[in-house]
Each structure stands twice: as structure tokens, then as C-alpha cells.
Amino acid sequence: MDVLERHDATALAGLVASGEVSPVELTEAAIARIEGIDPALNAVIHRSFDSAVDQAKSADLPDGPFRGVPFLLKDLWPTSAGDPFHCGVAGLKAAGYVHPTDANLVRRYREAGLVLVGRTNTPELGLVATTEPLSYGPTHNPWAPQRGPGGSSGGAAAAVAAGMVPAANASDGGGSIRIPAAMCGLVGLKPSRGRVSMGPMQDEWGLSVQHVVCHTVRDCAGLLDISARPFPGDGVIAPAPDRPYTRVVGADPGRLRIGLLDHALYTDTDPDCSAAARIGAQLLTEVGHDVSEGHPDALMIGPELGEVFTNQWAVNCRANLSALGALLGRELTEADVEPGTWMLAEMGSALDALTIVRGASLQARFRRDMAAWWADGHDLLITPTTAARAPLLGDLVGTASEPLRAFSRSAPYATFTSPFNVTGQPAISLPLHHDRDGLPLGVQLVAAYGREDLLVAVATQLEEAVDWASVRAPLHP
């Protein structure tokens, strides 16, 4: 039996530590699976197989907690020395750009002994809830290849769900870890702002954070332990946990007070998505928690916050194009990117400073108002991860007449997730249900800032009740 077939990253590391398998054997197994499975999915767009085998063979491979485990990086902001770095941007692809250094997070991955076998597909600049960049083409969902795997970490989620590797790097600026995790039947934790270093190309004060998609809670916890170590100069550093997250796996969180929001406040919600949240709520009740309908009143400012979020998205888009252009030594032009990306960047350029400052002020007020709900006695909020089911490929892409179609149609996928990018709170998507076509649906749990430990403990209780890791996608050999 293929050693990668059902083992998570923690189990594979244990096999290496015991001498049952070698890092080279695991790496070669991952390479074989990528070569065999990925032509049907288009998830792994940059393959670093030769360097991966060299890493695995090296006597200098660090003896960390994940020594020898094959791993994939998302081709967005975590750069890896000597590898392509394109962020879905056609201009960088055409230039054949290769980055010279490792990002801080990639340094942590290497220190843990992970073997980097490639980089995964992402929408251009990670801007939308589908992974269909013009530069690299669409990634298919291993549960239903005619559907998308979500975005922007769709390549990562498709690769893990199809069994190419047990876990993969992902990032989340509006739901981009949680949305693909929901659509591909995986665990996806968005950590607290400042939990994981974003440097040197990004800072920690923004909307986006880094972590992984994986099958099991213990992998999610263990990979967070190796990542959640700050670097000098990090802009935001989340409060240190009382103990390693791996020690929280299986720990009793006590009887918690949990609010339930089973429908979106400003868009339609697919009934299957609402049912998933109610099923999650029932499971939480069965394991001993107090669950009742309710949510922070601050979520009612959604439309106003949505405009501010869009403005920040546009400004960030313009700034990111400038940063990427600096790598090439020239400004990126309209010909280098997709029409929707260019239009969004132009919107960002047109925003005046006062609008941006007022938006930042509203986000700060929203963050404080949201925090009060948790401070007043609630421990968690449970919601659907998305308000819509996995889309058909093509449904969320721009057109010549509607360049921003991908952004507007992404809204139902981010309505439950994006508020917590604004607040910086940790949130996790868990694969607790399937829709009427048998495709995965995620349920989101949200904790107070800095309380990833609660999410890990409660997610373990739900994992024991549901055993989602035993159910794999049809394209998982």
C-alpha cells in the first residue's frame, strides 16, 4: 500500500522517526502521486522534484517534528529560494521570475524538516474565491472535477484532498484557507493576526495570515506549533499560548457557551449550508456545550464594512502590483494582469487618503465591538463556512463585459469568513457535512483573539464524533 494513502503528516513523521520509512521514500512517493494525479487537477504548477530529493537525501535535513514529510507551498507570498514566484500574475510568469530567498515562514518549515516538493496554483494575487487564473488555468475539485476547489488556496486544498501530500501551506485574506477547506473536505484554520510571521514581503497588521490545509486537527496543531514563532521586527505578535497546540489536542475545553448563526445577514444562504451549521451545533450540544442562536450585533454593519473591505482590497491590489513590479525592475502594466485585477488596482489608485483613514477607523470600531461579544461571556460562534456550495468552474471568473464579475460573485463565499480577517480573530473550517450532491460543506468556529487553543480542543471533539479524515475524495487513490 502507498505509504501516503491514509497517513497524516504527524503519522508520517512518526514513521520516519522510527525508521520504518525514509525521507527519500516519502518524497519519491509524493512525486509519483503528483505526477499521477495532478494532470487531472492542475493543482501543482511549479515542481521542485530534484531539489526535494536532494533535501530528503541530505544529512543536513533538520531533525524537526516533521522531518521527511513532503509539503507544498502556495504560490503567493511565502517565497522559497531558487523557485518560481508568480502569484498567478501573467507578467511574472512571462518573465520566468525566480525568487532568491526564503520567506520567514518557509524558514520555519525547513527547520521543522518538511521537504518542499513544489508550489500550488492560486488566483491572481489571491483575490477571488475560485482558483482559475488565466496564467495557469483552472484547478479542479477532486470531489467533482467540473467544480472549483475554492480560492485562493484552491491548489493547496485540491492537492491535499487528492492525497498528493498530507498538508500544504495556505493563506487567508478574506477566507482563502477556510473556503477551499470547506469545498474540499479539509481542516482549515485561520490563525490570529500576528500568530505567524508574514515577512519579509508582507506585514502582520493586514488582513492576510498564513497557515495550512490538512486532514486532521493534530496536523493543524502541530504545524501551527512550528510556525508560530515570531521573527525580529514582526509588526504584530499574537499573545503566546499557555502550552503547545499539540498538547491541546484531545484536552477538555470545559463546558462552553456558543452562539449559532446559521444564515448570512446580507445575502441568500443555500439551505444545505445552513443545515451544516445546525448539524455542527447539535454535535456541540451532544458533547456537552451550551449552544443557542445568537451572534454579535456588530455583524449588522455588514454593508458598510463590506465597502471598506472592498476599498482595502483595492488599495492592497495596487500596492501588491507595485511590489511585484519592483521585483522585475519595472512597473506592471495592464497587459501583465487580468482585466479584473487591473480594474481593481485602478479603483485603489483613485481612493483618497481620507477615505482610507475613515475605513481604518471603522474597522477598528468593528474590531472592538466584535470583541465585546466574546468578552461578555461567549466562547465561540458557529456558522456555515460559506453561504453557497462549490461553484461550477467558470461561474466565478471575469468576462470582457464584466471584468469584476469574479469579485462580485465571490461575495457569498466570503460573507461568513471575511469579518474575522478584519478583526484578526482565529477561525477554523471543519468538514462536518455534505451537500445534496455529496460534496463537502464546511462549518466555521470562531474564537476570541488569541484563542486558537479553544478551536483546537473543540475541533478535536468534533473530529472524534465525525471522523471526517476517513472519508476521502473520489480522486484520492
Interval 139-157 mean pLDDT: 97
Would you say 196 and 242 are in contact if contact means Cβ atoms under 8 Å apart? Answer: no
Q: Among residues 457, 432, 454, which one has the least CA distance to residue 443?
A: 432
Phi-psi region of 336 (alpha: psi -120 to 50; beta: other; left: phi over 0): alpha
Which letter, b or e, does each residue of 227-252 get, where b requires 16 or more Cβ atoms within 10 Å of its Cβ?
Answer: bbbbeeebebebeebeeebbebbeee
Q: Among residues 302, 439, 448, 441, which one has the least CA distance to residue 383?
A: 441
Q: Among residues 87, 22, 214, 138, which one has the least CA distance to residue 393?
A: 138
Residue range 65-100, pLDDT digits in tens? 999 999 999 999 999 999 999 999 999 999 999 999
Tell me the pLDDT band of 1, cut-offs 50, 70 and 90.
Answer: very low
Tell me the pLDDT band of 4, cut-offs 50, 70 and 90.
Answer: confident
Tell me the pLDDT band of 302, cut-offs 50, 70 and 90.
Answer: confident
* Rounded Cα distance, 412 and 170, in Å: 20
Q: Beta partners for 72? A: 118, 168
Transcribe 388-436 into DSSP letters. SPPPBTTTTS--SS-TTHHHHHTHHHHTTTTHHHHH---EEEEEEEE-T
The reported pLDDT for the residue numbered 416 is 97
pLDDT(31) > 50: yes
Q: Among residues 133, 154, 136, which one has the least CA distance to residue 145?
A: 154
Tell me the pLDDT band of 433, cut-offs 50, 70 and 90.
Answer: very high
The reported pLDDT for the residue numbered 231 is 97
* Exposure on the CB side of residue 440, measured as CA atoms within 13 A: 34
The reported pLDDT for the residue numbered 185 is 98
Q: Is the pTM of this model over 0.95?
A: yes
Give all domains of the chain, ordered by start, each with its CATH number: 9-470 (3.90.1300.10)
Instruction: Identify the H or E element spanning 442.
Output: strand 440-447
Q: Beta partners for 212? A: 169
Cell numbers describing residue 235: 509588526
Cell numbers describing residue 327: 521585483
The reported pLDDT for the residue numbered 6 is 82
Burial grade of 28 (CB within 10 A; 0-12, 13-18, 19 or more): middle
- Please list, in sequence order, all residues whose beta carbon lies within 8 angstroms of the beta carbon of residue 33, skipping any fewer than 6 positions away: 2, 4, 162, 163, 164, 165, 477
AA identity, residue 14: G
Mean pLDDT estimate for the chain: 96
Q: Among residues 142, 119, 12, 126, which one has the least CA distance to residue 68?
A: 12
Which residues are catalytic, by number?
Answer: 74, 152, 176
* Rounded Cα distance, 120 and 77, in Å: 12
Cell numbers describing residue 302: 455588514
Cell numbers describing residue 134: 488565466
The reported pLDDT for the residue numbered 405 is 93
AA identity, residue 439: L
Phi first, then psi: give them for residue 147, nearest 5 degrees.
-110, 160
* Rounded Cα distance, 86 and 122, in Å: 9
* Rounded Cα distance, 297 and 58, in Å: 55
The reported pLDDT for the residue numbered 304 is 86
Residue range 392-414, pLDDT digits in tens? 999 999 988 999 999 999 999 99
Per the listing, cell 443545515 goes with 275
Neighbour count for residue 360 (Cβ, 10 Å):
13
pLDDT(144) > 50: yes
pLDDT(179) > 70: yes
- Please list, in sequence order, all residues whose beta carbon lies within 8 angstroms of the beta carbon of residue 72, skipping any fewer than 6 positions away: 44, 116, 117, 118, 119, 120, 156, 159, 164, 165, 168, 169
Burial grade of 188 (CB within 10 A; 0-12, 13-18, 19 or more): buried
* Rounded Cα distance, 212 and 144, in Å: 22
Instruction: Identify the H or E element spanning 170.
Output: strand 167-172
* Beta strands in 23-163, from DSSP E residues, in sequence order: 44-47, 70-74, 83-84, 98-99, 115-120
Interval 350-355 mean pLDDT: 94
Cell numbers describing residue 391: 461553484
The DSSP bridge pattern shows strands 440-447 and 380-384 to be antiparallel
